[in-house]
Amino acid sequence: MASKGLHSTRIIVLALTLGLIIGLALAGPAAAKKKKKKGSPGGTVDITQVVGAPIPQGSATTNGLLASTITVADKKFTNTQIRDVNVTLTTLAATGPSPADDLSARVTAPNGATTWLIAPGSLAGSSVGPLTLDDESPNRIFTNSLAPTILGPPYIGTAQPDCGFVRGGCIFSAMDGGPASGVWTLRIYDLGDATESNTLASWRLNAIAGKPFKTK
């Protein structure tokens, strides 16, 4: 009888031990999943749009226009706000000795905020870039200077946007606080020299976005 009781006790202990092991195995992943926190929204938007299209030729009365869009659809940028924006342009000469002379460009954020990147007459030479327009860059665009802080043809590197006398300005900070998600539009113009033409090879959007700042 004692042997039978001991055997029953062993069975009960084994069952309890097995139940405890199964319980811990099931609770482990659940607890880990519960402890896992979602990452902070926002981060850096870094999207390159390959275009490879000719910029339509302008005329004496109308500028040629090529529009290209980049859509920021990643959910981590939903309800985030812009903190900083940079845009990179790469163009290729199609015809003529100095077609970059004819170019100007601007970019528009999803909320409609627009800033000029290049004003008419800002550039010279043939192909352009990769040229990163960054309003925090120490460099400026110019056509023929060799000064250390002047970026000349073929404009490979970073420089501040140059809006010349274009109304509306060329400061990216005007976009700060706007939404990162949505459609960004680049518009690049040809001012109309019939003997020269350009191709937009690509453009790149680089933007830092984060949660809205708390206001008291």
Note the pLDDT tens digit of each residue in 49-80: 999 999 998 887 888 999 999 999 999 999 99
Note the pLDDT tens digit of each residue in 146-202: 677 889 899 999 999 987 655 556 778 889 999 999 999 999 999 876 788 999 999
Torsion angle, alpha carbons of 169, 49, 158, 140, to 10: -30
Output 144 or 209, whichever has higher pLDDT: 209
Q: What is the DSSP string of 130-192?
A: EEEE-TT-S-EE-SS---TTEE-TT--EEE--B-TT-TT---GGGGTTSBSSEEEEEEEEE--
Residue 216 domain-assigned (yes or no): no
Q: Could you tell me the residue range of the domain that residue 29 belongs to?
A: 1-36
Total count of domains within the chain: 2
Note the pLDDT tens digit of each residue in 82-119: 999 999 999 999 888 889 999 999 999 999 999 999 98
3-state secondary structure of 129: strand
Q: Are residues 27 and 47 in the same domain?
A: no
Q: Are residues 54 and 32 in the same domain?
A: no
Instruction: Indicate the range of 6-10, 99-103, 128-132 predicted with least confidence.
Output: 6-10
CB 109: neighbour CB atoms within 10 A? Answer: 24
Residue 178 domain-assigned (yes or no): yes
Closest C-alpha among 107, 55, 119, 117 to residue 82: 107
Sign of the dihedral defined by the CA atoms of residues 72, 48, 50, 90, in that order: positive
Global model pTM greater than 0.75: yes
Q: Are residues 171 and 129 in the same domain?
A: yes
Query: What CATH code is carried by the domain that includes residue 205?
Result: 2.60.120.260
3-state secondary structure of 93: strand
Sign of the dihedral defined by the CA atoms of residues 161, 63, 102, 91, in that order: positive
Closest C-alpha among 163, 181, 63 to residue 172: 163
* Whole-angstrom distance, CA of residue 57 vs CA of residue 22: 73
Sign of the dihedral defined by the CA atoms of residues 162, 163, 164, 169, in that order: negative
